[in-house]
Amino acid sequence: MVNITSFLALIIAITIHEFSHAYVADRLGDPTPRSHGRLSLNPLKHLDPIGTIMIFVAPFGWGKPVPIDPYNLRHPKRDELFIALAGPASNLILASILATIYSQLTNPIIYIIAIINIYLAVFNLLPIPPLDGSKIFLNLLPPEKSIEWEEAFEKYGPFLLIAFIFLPIGGSNIISLVTAPIVKLISASLGLK
């Protein structure tokens, strides 16, 4: 079970993450997030009911995906890449700011919020749908390859993600085996020890 500090840290991380997707999409010409009320730092605008419940059960969770209409974007392929990067980048920026504060205050709550933001960023950069990393990966491919991969991603991606999260491997899972060393490296580089 997740404690209240971790719960609040996840809520902050998810809110910043989803708001950043919305903000960048809006700046790049897509009014869809604004029209859906997602250009907000109010957590209630971004929380998914099941994703929020999962925070208490798993403990991990997710927010509601920010709706994007690529037809409103001036440069759809490039802009979708920037929008997808915005969420993880915002979590890493927040973690960096918190690490600077932590170096002066060494408050455990600041540490937890920073670490959870790093975890959320790294997790979302995995190239598995529906994570941001899959959108980044697809938009870096040539158009014809992107279409081929997208069909396979849409069909199998969510099932792979669930398997990677829940299938145990040596007391852990595939996601943790991949993300934990990266999180540890980033944390150490920010002075979060």
Specify the residue for token string 């998914």.
48
Specify the residue for token string 């419940």.
53
For residues 33 and 65, give the distance between their C-alpha atoms in angstroms, rounded to a whole number. Answer: 10
Asked if 98 contacts 113 with a C-beta cutoff of 8 angstroms, the reply is: yes
Asked if 87 contacts 124 with a C-beta cutoff of 8 angstroms, the reply is: yes
* Helix, strand, or coil (residue 172): strand
Among 141, 48, 72, which Cα is nearest to 152's? 141
Specify the residue for token string 């869809």.
32
Q: From the candidates 18, 80, 150, 151, which is the catalytic residue?
A: 18
Q: How far is CA 37 from CA 44, 71, 91, 92, in A?
A: 10, 19, 21, 24
Any residues with CB less than 8 A from the CB of 8 and at least 6 apart, and which? Answer: 113
Please say if 18 is a catalytic residue.
Answer: yes
Catalytic amino acids?
18
